[in-house]
A and B are shown apart, each in its own frame.
Chain A
Amino acid sequence: MASTAERYGWAVVMAALLALAVPWFLWGVDRIVWGLPVWLWWHIGWMLVASVVFRAFSRRAWGLWIVEPEGETT
């Protein structure tokens, strides 16, 4: 059974993953690193990070908000 901290922690992590999928802080930047725009490298790294985070979620917290009765709005 996940603690409240874990429940909200995962929600924050997921929200952060979504919010920074587009690197807004690189807006307008056209620097090229190793042949590709630097923002494309961010994308490549971010997708790898997302995969690792999703894997961790599926191992440690799968079922959160769904199979736990108190995770649901009553």
Chain B
Amino acid sequence: MTVGLQMGIIIGYLFVALGVGLAAYRVTDRAAEDFYLASRTFGTVVLLFTVFATLLSAFTFFGGPDTAYAFGPEWILVMGLMDGLIFAVLWYVVGYKQWLLGQRYGYVTLGELLGDRFGSRAIRALVAGVSLFWLFPYVMLQQIGAGGALSALTDGTVPFVAGATLITGFMIVYVVLAGMRGIAWTDTLQGAFMLLAVWSALLWVLVAVDGGIGTINAGLEATNPEFLALGSEFYTAGTMLTFAISIAFGVAMFPQVNQRFFTASSETVLKRSFALWPLLVLLLFVPAFLLGTWGRGLGLEADIGAGESILPVVLAEYTPAWFAALVVAGAIAAMMSSSDSMLLSGSSYFTRDIYRPLVDKDLSETGEDRLGRAGVVVFAVGALAASVWAEAEAFGAATVGSILVGIGDLAFGGFAQLALPVIVALYWRRTTGAGLVAGIGASQAVYIAFNFLPEVGVGSLTLFSDTYLGWGISIYCMLLGLVVTVAVSATTTANPEANVDDHFGLGAD
């Protein structure tokens, strides 16, 4: 009964999303800027929720509570620092500056902005290329997750390949129709749903448990007293800071988030959303992660290592069947649709920063709009084919597949490597194109080497380890990127065709 209900909810959700997409299509101009950026018209609520839902819908319901269940609730602090504070500051430092430049010069992507700043098509293509390198496998992870979730939910009646294909096909139709506007509208619905779902679930569990919070805490003290104390073997200061810093900087460079910096309709929208970030983080993550921790205190069991999640178990135990089915199905639907924004951004990076400047310079606005929609299809089908191939472990696929999955898992750190060179370029006039390229190149190369090459002992040192002195390698690579960008800029001269003056002194006129 529950499975039927959940499938019904998932399919219903997909149709609602299609309806929203169709509505968005009707009010959309046939121009690339509208397809990619909804003509820069978003208000505070839509902008906040679309950035949030784009990245965090699956994590709020599954990954986050599971981490809190397995290791304790300290992850709440990591999220607070990461998304409530560091990302909010980047929202201002990177986002506001990008938005100002986008308003003036009509930029649609980060690569376009930097390419123009340095007068270099190569830089434009480099930024887009590095982004696509990390984005493509990350989209694959979403598809593998979606196919797996449908297959698990139906006990294999819908096999993995069918599930992944179904979702991808739907996503293509939806994104091609809806563009940025439709995606943001459904994201807003999702955000409201998430808030309502986690708070209802929290209150339901508190009321349903005999003795309420006292019983839960007594259970925690008996089985996992270390969950109540701040810090543990898993949560060391270095680990918490590494996660918070590298993911926050990575988020700001993820194409689907970075591109949303351009979409705010006014400065007021940016100001309001800046101040609301910590509140949104508080309202969503505290209840969601507490539910995971409480699952432990209530003696519930989920085999996280084997892919089970704790939240559905908590809901099944303490809330009515219809509510549990609604929340779990809603979360799966949200997870499945989270690749929509990535498809759109991936397509825009490819068509705008690689295809148009390097292959067809005279492409018209409507031509680019059509090409962008075609790009969505190509990107989605390519990622699907790679996912199915990797999952099937056909000839050679096990190796390539595991490498691709590895890249996807490292995507946040990979994007984080872009952040500091880009920030230097945004704020330091004397940054040169060579400096930016060297900074991006060095940090990416070292980050990839240390994550993929086997560890080698050299004397008393270990080369290619992924942590040193308790800090993750991504932090060291970020610093390397910063130092190389500054050092190479200081020793090279700027391209005479760079548009430096256009990008600085923005208050002057």
Contacts and interface: CB of A to CB of B under 8 A. Distances in A.
A58 B427 CA distance: 20
Contacts of A36: 213, 290
Contact of B73 (A32, A37, A63): A37
B181 interface: no
B88 A54 contact: yes
A22 B241 CA distance: 9
Contacts of A63: 507
A62 B93 CA distance: 11
Contacts of A24: 237
Contact of B507 (A22, A40, A67): A67
Interface size class of A (residues with CB under 8 A): 35 or more
A65 to B, nearest CB: 8
Contacts of B230: 23, 26-30, 37, 39
Q: Which of A29, A50, A63 has the most CB of B within 10 A?
A: A50
Interface string B461-501: 00000000000000000000000000000000000000000
Given A35-B213, A40-B76, A51-B276, A67 B100 contact: yes
A24 B241 CA distance: 12
Contacts of A44: 282, 286
Contacts of A48: 278-279, 282
Question: Is the interface on chain B under 10, 10 to 19, 20 to 34, or 35 or more residues?
Answer: 35 or more
B80 interface: yes
A56 to B, nearest CB: 9
Contact of A73 (B225, B267, B428): B428
Given A21-B81, A66-B96, A32 B274 contact: no
B277 A54 contact: yes
B89 interface: yes
Interface string A55-74: 10111001101111100111
Nearest to B216: A35
A43 interface: yes
B86 interface: yes
B85 interface: yes
B299 interface: no
Given A26-B230, A32-B217, A43 B76 contact: yes
A55 B290 CA distance: 28
A18 interface: yes
A37 B505 CA distance: 48
A67 B506 contact: yes
A37 B216 CA distance: 12
Contacts of B76: 40, 43
A73 B486 CA distance: 13
A30 B506 contact: no
B278 A73 contact: no
6 contacts: A21-B85, A21-B244, A30-B225, A35-B212, A43-B80, A55-B275
Interface of A: 14, 17-18, 21-24, 26-30, 32, 35-37, 39-40, 43-44, 46-48, 50-51, 54-55, 57-59, 62-63, 65-69, 72-74
